[in-house]
């Protein structure tokens, strides 16, 4: 019996885990096997004590082409599907950076939108192509509509039109749209900045970014007052304040790449 094909590759670089969709022959399409391997990879690295930041990227010229339309369809949903993968990214206590190496369509845009910070080439192409094949961008709407400008989302979802990285940034899908030669340097800059943050503080900040604003103003203030008190009473805060006063790096600031 042969081993299953590796469709997702994980590389550790110091405190950074790089998770790569590694099926360029299928344009990194979201097959059942790739999604299952991606879920396993993310579940491992987002909870690992020695991982500070996760980078999600693709192999080859395409980041992700969306669902694998050549794969036979079945009525039974897979045990682990795209919703579980997107939830892992959203709930990850570690910041997740999307290094969008090239074009992305449909489900690939859902992956990008789930990440905390997103960088891609200005010249790359993107598209919510679902309506043009008779379906709807249903699953990925959960992440995309949390990030994108509503008016831009309405136009791009309904038309299925192809757009470039500059428009993706204007729409809120990308945080930075850069020239091809600046992609890696920009990602490395963001990763370096993230690794200066305390792990627990970053996790707490990710949580508040999801929860605020809530249903009512008074409730927001109560929850955030409790979070603020918890963080100021934490060991990380004691170390961070001591390091600031002593003009030295905090204990969690790593010099490893």
CB 85 within 8 Å of CB 54: no
225 CB burial (10 A radius; 0-12, 13-18, 19+): exposed
d(CA 27, CA 13): 25
Count of beta carbons in the 10 Å neighbourhood of residue 98: 28
Residue identified by tokens 């170390």 is: 239
Give every CB contact of residue 92 below 8 A, 6+ residues apart in sequence. 42, 46, 54, 206
Distance separating the N- and C-terminal Cα atoms of the chain = 39
Tell me the sheet residues that pair with 164: 125
Give every CB contact of residue 250 below 8 A, 6+ residues apart in sequence. 196, 198, 239, 240, 243, 244
Length of the chain measured in residues: 257
Count of beta carbons in the 10 Å neighbourhood of residue 74: 8
Give every CB contact of residue 149 below 8 A, 6+ residues apart in sequence. 170, 171, 172
Q: Which residues participate in catalysis according to the annotation?
A: 130
């Amino acid at each position: 019996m042969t081993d299953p094909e590796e469709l997702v590759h994980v590389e550790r670089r110091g405190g950074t885990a790089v998770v790569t969709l590694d099926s360029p022959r299928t344009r990194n399409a979201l097959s059942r096997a790739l999604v299952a391997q991606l879920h396993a990879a993310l579940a491992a690295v987002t909870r690992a004590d020695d991982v500070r930041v996760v980078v999600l990227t693709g192999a080859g010229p395409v980041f992700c082409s969306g669902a694998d339309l050549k794969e036979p369809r079945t009525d039974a949903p897979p045990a682990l599907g795209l919703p579980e993968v997107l939830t892992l990214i959203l709930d990850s206590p570690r910041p997740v950076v999307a290094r969008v190496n090239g074009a992305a369509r449909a489900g690939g845009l859902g992956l990008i939108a789930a990440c905390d910070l997103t960088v891609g080439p200005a010249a790359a192409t993107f598209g919510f192509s679902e309506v043009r094949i008779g379906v709807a961008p249903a699953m990925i709407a959960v992440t995309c509509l949390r990030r994108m400008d509503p008016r831009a989302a309405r136009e791009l979802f309904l038309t299925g039109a192809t757009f470039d990285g500059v428009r993706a940034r204007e729409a809120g899908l990308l945080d930075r749209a850069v020239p091809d030669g600046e992609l890696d340097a920009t990602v490395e800059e963001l990763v370096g900045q993230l690794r200066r943050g305390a792990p627990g503080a970053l996790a707490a900040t990710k949580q508040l970014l999801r929860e605020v604003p809530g249903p009512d103003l008074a409730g927001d203030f109560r929850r955030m007052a409790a979070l603020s008190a918890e963080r100021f009473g934490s060991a990380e805060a004691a170390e961070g304040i001591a390091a600031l006063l002593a003009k030295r790096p905090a204990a969690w600031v790593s010099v490893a790449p």
